[in-house]
Amino acid sequence: MTPSQTLYLLLDLALILGLARLLGAAARALGQPAVIGEILAGVLLGPTLLGAHFADTLFPADVRPLLSALAGVGLALFMFAVGLEIDLGVLRGGGRVTLWATTFSTVLPLGLGAGLAWLLADTHRQGPLLAFVLFFAVAMAATAFPVLARIIADRGLTRTRLGTTALTCAAITDLLVWILLAVAAAVATGEDLDWRLVLLVPYVVLMITVVRPLLRKAGGLSGRKRKRGTGFTASGASDASGASDASGASDASGASGESTNLVVLVLAGLLLSSACTEWLGLHYIFGAFLFGAIIPRDGHTALREGALQRMEPLSRLLLLPVYFVLAGLKVDLSELDLTDLGTLAAILVVAMAGKLLGTYVGARLGGFGRRPAAALGALLNTRGLTELVVLGIGLELGLLDGTLYSLMVVMAVATTALTGPLLTRILPTTGKNGAPAEQPAPTTPGAQEASPREAVPATDK
């Protein structure tokens, strides 16, 4: 790396960090997710407003690959966190409303997206037709689980039936989206890698039957060592002798070392899993997602807590903003014509109709009242970062041209930004946090089905 590259890399990182943080805070002040401001930071620095020459000056061509490498690491860490947060146990006992809402909120956007893709294929298709149609349909069905979780927490919906149903539906939808996206990626890569894809099933089986038990053992062993270290530290602190204090400090240091070793183990496994799926002909994010999904949940918190506490700050504060800004730099809205604006309108209508209408119908069939069903549709219409990741993969695979990519990014930002206003209009609120007049979500399996409308306002039925 030349001195000029080093200089620009450091300056660009400082610029990205500062601007993304500033606009993210501005978005939060307006009641919007921070991801919207961070995406807009990239758009502002890109060719849309200031022209391609300005963007090329700020981010020279020989520096962008370095930024892309950092963004790739951040994306892998993010997908690992997504897999870590998705509880595969939600597939069991989600309740009737979850089943119907998930089905309709996924199938209808997939169908409408596939139909629109056929209409756009002549003017925007890149790569194989089947891969293009499947990818576009998947992009319409995506829901941003991490952004949705933050919106639900901010609005005090975490312990309500609406909030838990939305998170469960989003988790299942995201799982289906990543599976279908993997299929689209496999179709798009061509025939020369087909023989490697045969190894995908054994790889998944190996991760579940071998790697997961090993991680469980490692987490249990680390947890026991940390408990012993904590016990010795307490005794050392209560003892007046210097030797005892030294022993306690030593044990505390040992416990910290065990925690660090565990994080290193998880990080190495994450990178190896990402490399494996990349070699298999899929995108590396699928390996990161799978590794996060197999991290044990049953009583072994050391793995999960250590991984999130140590890796998430670096990813969230620096690496992901780099990804956002690079994504925004690829957006160019300066040369859109009337045809492109018509395409944008069609994309927005299909995206919103698929999610809002599909979720509403499914939730009503599952037993929700009118207002909660509409609110659930507004929540699942959130696309945010997940959509941006999907679009970035489509661009890398050569399935999207620059114009369609730009239009889809606009759709992702618009649908995410509308979530808050739609919820405010749909749900009656009480209290300081603006939480809806709902009872807490049932805590026992099957309780949702026993009385499907007991947790919604009577006026909404």
The mean-pLDDT minimum among 122-136, 276-290, 330-344 falls in: 276-290
pLDDT of the residue at 86: 67
The structure tokens 């939060």 sit at: 28
* Tokens matching residue 243: 């030797």
Beta bridge partners of residue 351, listed in sequence order = none
List, in order, residues 6 or more apart from 7 with CB less than 8 Å away: none
The model's pLDDT over 396-419, given as tens digits with 9 standing for 90+, comes to: 888 888 899 999 999 999 998 998
The structure tokens 């990626």 sit at: 185
Cα distance between residue 182 and residue 197, in whole Å: 10
pLDDT of the residue at 235: 42
| Helix (H), strand (E) at residue 316 | none
Closest CA to 139 of 420, 421, 405: 405
The mean-pLDDT minimum among 1-10, 173-182, 432-441 falls in: 432-441
* Tokens matching residue 428: 């009656």
Query: Does the pLDDT at position 152 exceed 80?
Result: yes
The model's pLDDT over 171-182, given as tens digits with 9 standing for 90+, comes to: 888 888 888 888
Question: Which percentage of the chain shows pLDDT scores above 70?
Answer: 78
Interval 193-222 mean pLDDT: 80
* Pairing verdict, β 429-430 and 435-436: antiparallel
Cα distance between residue 79 and residue 388, in whole Å: 12
Interval 202-226 mean pLDDT: 81
Q: Is 35 exposed, middle or buried (0-12, 13-18, 19+ CB in 10 A)?
A: buried
Please report, as a single letter, which amino acid is at residue 85.
E
Q: Is the dihedral of CA 360, 365, 368, 370 positive or negative?
A: positive
Q: How many CB atoms lie within 10 A of CB 432?
A: 7
pLDDT band per the 50, 70, 90 thresholds, residue 37? confident
DSSP 8-state secondary structure symbol assigned to residue 367: T
Cα distance between residue 424 and residue 434, in whole Å: 9
pLDDT of the residue at 102: 92
The model's pLDDT over 375-393, given as tens digits with 9 standing for 90+, comes to: 999 999 988 778 888 898 8
Interval 190-196 mean pLDDT: 57
The structure tokens 């040992």 sit at: 254
The mean-pLDDT minimum among 60-74, 245-259, 404-418 falls in: 245-259
CA angle 95, 213, 260 (to 5 degrees): 105
Closest CA to 114 of 137, 96, 91: 137
Interval 232-244 mean pLDDT: 46
Question: Which percentage of the chain shows pLDDT scores above 90?
Answer: 23
pLDDT of the residue at 52: 78
List, in order, residues 6 or more apart from 239 with CB less than 8 Å away: 245, 248
* Mean per-residue pLDDT over the chain, rounded: 79
What is the pTM (predicted TM-score) of this model? 0.74
pLDDT of the residue at 194: 55
Interval 3-13 mean pLDDT: 91
Q: Which residue has the higher pLDDT, 13 or 95?
A: 13
DSSP 8-state secondary structure symbol assigned to residue 442: P
Q: How far is CA 220 from the centre of its chain?
A: 28
Query: Does the pLDDT at position 358 exceed 90?
Result: yes
3 state DSSP class of 158: coil
111 vs 42, 133, 215, CA distance in Å?
A: 31, 10, 39
pLDDT of the residue at 439: 44
Q: Which residue blocks in 30-157 are alpha helix, DSSP H?
A: 34-45, 47-50, 52-58, 64-85, 96-124, 129-141, 145-154
pLDDT of the residue at 46: 82
Query: Does the pLDDT at position 325 exceed 50?
Result: yes
The mean-pLDDT minimum among 114-128, 130-144, 184-198, 211-225 falls in: 184-198
The mean-pLDDT minimum among 106-110, 208-212, 393-397, 428-432 falls in: 428-432
- Cα torsion 345, 350, 356, 361 to 10°: value is 150
Cα distance between residue 97 and residue 15, in whole Å: 46
Give the HSE-up count for residue 311: Cα atoms under 13 Å, Cβ half-sphere: 29
Cα distance between residue 354 and residue 262, in whole Å: 43
Query: Does the pLDDT at position 64 exceed 50?
Result: yes
pLDDT of the residue at 94: 56
Interval 299-324 mean pLDDT: 74
The mean-pLDDT minimum among 65-79, 89-103, 215-229 falls in: 215-229
The mean-pLDDT minimum among 29-38, 363-372, 391-400, 441-450 falls in: 441-450
DSSP 8-state secondary structure symbol assigned to residue 160: B
Instruction: Check residue 255 and give left, alpha or beta (phi > 0: left; psi -120 to 50: alpha).
Output: alpha
Cα distance between residue 332 and residue 403, in whole Å: 7
CB 261 within 8 A of CB 290: no
pLDDT of the residue at 218: 78
Query: Does the pLDDT at position 445 exceed 70?
Result: no
Interval 240-246 mean pLDDT: 49
Q: For the chain, how far is it from start to end, CA to CA, in angstroms?
A: 64
Interval 84-92 mean pLDDT: 62
Interval 429-457 mean pLDDT: 42
Cα distance between residue 349 and residue 345, in whole Å: 6
pLDDT of the residue at 351: 94
CB 261 within 8 A of CB 218: no
